[in-house]
């Protein structure tokens, strides 16, 4: 076990350094110069040179990387080149918007997709089953920003039930207002995601429907629905969970669009703006923190697996 831990930690360290280097280099491939953004169109070449020297962007890349990585090792993920805000502070402020948004959307998507997918599978030969599938297809085809705009037009403009955009100025200090402002974004994101998920649930369920154990369960007198609930779902679950995992990762991408559409001050909107401003230090710090979180989580899951599953332990 100690050996495994050591190996796993080494792997984690390698992955994190690789990620940091990759993020750093990819951002340097982007054309554009943060000094020009800061100095603007009136700045003289001498002023831009002064700015680059202050920001350190005139140094060779290895030196820039070394000083950034050194800071990260010391726990300093860097500061915005434009306004000096700390990457960790700012990410914390954005996650309180993005995490509730994506988590709630994922839960809602599962709650929608699983029953509907099962239903579509069970009734796949009838019209209503086909209708559910068709609506699901439509959901995949509709761009989420359009859906968001339409939902806002209905629930905010026509019915005046919910805000059309924005987040309370005081954030979660106004819990009711904050929650209300997330309803439409969550619904939009969840609808878009559940449409994808629904297809997987349906096809996974269809596959199980014809499995031997289902026939056996039916032979023992269970109805199709109860056999599906009792035996089918848990067998259909693994592929759906894999897809859900990938989907949750892609939620961050979806959040960029939704946060933009609903003007939510979240991680996605921030990253988009920072890349546009070539605030490279802030972008690389943010991306490293986010991907580091995923990598650490993966490692932790591995370790926990080993602890709970003796077969895996023996295999080492």
Q: Which residues bind other proteins (CB under 8 A)?
A: 30-33, 36-44, 47, 50-51, 54, 82-85, 90, 93-94, 145, 148-149, 152-153, 156-157, 160, 163-167, 169-171, 259-266, 269-270, 273, 276-279
| Torsion angles phi and psi, residue 223, rounded to 5 | -75, 165
Q: Alpha-carbon Rg of the chain, whole angstroms? A: 24
Q: What is the DSSP string of 39-75?
A: H-TT--HHHHHHHHHHHTTTS-HHHHHHHHHHHHHTT
Nearer to other proteins, 19 or 261 (CB): 261
CB of 173: closest distance to other proteins in angstroms?
A: 11
Nearer to other proteins, 235 or 263 (CB): 263
CB of 47: closest distance to other proteins in angstroms?
A: 6
Q: Under 8 Å CB-to-CB from 270, ≥6 apart: which residues?
A: 90, 94, 286
Nearer to other proteins, 158 or 212 (CB): 158
CA atoms within 13 A on the CB side of 104: 16
CB of 315: closest distance to other proteins in angstroms?
A: 47
Helix boundaries (H) for the chain? 2-29, 34-39, 45-55, 61-73, 87-122, 127-141, 144-152, 175-209, 212-219, 224-227, 233-261, 267-276, 280-308, 310-315
CB of 69: closest distance to other proteins in angstroms?
A: 24
CB of 179: closest distance to other proteins in angstroms?
A: 16
Nearer to other proteins, 11 or 36 (CB): 36
As to burial, measured by CB atoms within 10 angstroms (0-12 exposed, 13-18 middle, 19+ buried), residue 168 is middle
Q: Under 8 Å CB-to-CB from 296, ≥6 apart: which residues?
A: 12
Nearer to other proteins, 236 or 274 (CB): 274
Distance between CA atoms of residues 307 and 214, nearest Å: 33
CB of 316: closest distance to other proteins in angstroms?
A: 47
Six-digit token string for 2? 């100690």
CB of 79: closest distance to other proteins in angstroms?
A: 10
């Amino acid at each position: 076990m100690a050996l495994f831990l050591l190996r796993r930690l080494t792997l984690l360290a390698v992955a994190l350094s690789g990620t940091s280097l990759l993020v750093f280099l990819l951002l340097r491939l982007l054309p554009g110069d943060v000094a020009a953004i800061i100095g603007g169109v009136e700045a003289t070449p001498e002023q831009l040179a002064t700015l680059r020297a202050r920001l350190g962007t005139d140094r060779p890349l290895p030196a820039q990387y070394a000083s950034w990585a050194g800071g990260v090792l010391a726990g300093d993920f860097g500061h915005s080149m434009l306004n000096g805000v700390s990457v960790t502070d700012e990410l914390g402020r954005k996650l309180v918007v993005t995490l509730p948004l994506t988590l709630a959307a994922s839960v809602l998507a599962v709650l929608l997709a699983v029953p509907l997918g099962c239903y579509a599978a069970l009734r796949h030969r009838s019209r209503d089953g086909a209708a559910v599938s068709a609506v699901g297809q439509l959901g995949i085809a509709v761009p989420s920003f359009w859906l968001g705009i339409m939902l806002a037009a209905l629930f905010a403009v026509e019915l005046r039930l919910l805000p059309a955009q924005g987040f309370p100025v005081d954030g979660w200090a106004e819990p009711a207002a904050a929650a209300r402002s997330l309803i439409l974004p969550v619904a939009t994101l969840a609808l878009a995601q559940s449409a994808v998920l629904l297809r997987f649930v349906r096809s996974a369920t269809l596959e199980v429907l014809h499995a031997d154990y289902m026939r056996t369960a039916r032979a023992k007198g269970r109805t199709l629905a109860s056999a599906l609930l009792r035996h089918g779902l848990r067998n259909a679950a693994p592929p759906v969970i894999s897809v859900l995992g990938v989907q949750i990762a892609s939620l961050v991408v979806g959040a960029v669009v939704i946060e933009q559409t609903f003007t939510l001050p979240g991680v996605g909107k921030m990253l988009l703006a920072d890349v546009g401003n070539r605030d490279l230090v802030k972008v690389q710090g943010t991306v490293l923190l986010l991907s580091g979180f995923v990598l650490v989580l993966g490692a932790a899951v591995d370790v926990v697996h080993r602890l709970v599953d003796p077969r895996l332990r023996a295999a080492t």
